Amino acid sequence: VDAFNQNVIVRGVLTISRGLWSFGDKTLIDGVIINGSAKTVQFIARIMGRLQSGYLYHYALLMVVGVLAGIVWLNWPNNI
């Protein structure tokens, strides 16, 4: 009975737990959620850093374009 428990049940549980650790913890949690979210933030920060010039007139122009786009959108016929 002890040999059966050791060879079948314990080994089966160890195999399943290693698989869950390998896929669930290493791949899904560490790989996708933790590292994936960090890489996503890094990617967005890199893009946003390129868009920022530090010159005030660039930001003022962007605000004017945004206001004009809002006015056009509000006055567009049949806007949704």
pLDDT one-digit tens code per residue, 17-65: 999 999 989 899 999 999 999 999 999 999 998 888 889 999 999 999 9
Domain hosting 38: range is: 2-75
User: How many structural domains is the chain composed of?
Assistant: 1
How far is Cα 8 from Cα 2, in angstroms, rounded to an integer? 10
What tokens does 12 get?
């089966």
CA angle (61, 41, 29) in 5-degree steps? 160
Nearest to 35 by CA among 47, 20, 25: 25
Give me the torsion for CA of 75, 77, 78, 80, rounded to 10°: -30
Sorted by sequence, the CB contacts under 8 Å of residue 79 that are 6+ apart come out as 73
Question: Is the entire prediction scored with pTM above 0.75?
Answer: no
Within a domain: residue 80?
no
Within a domain: residue 56?
yes
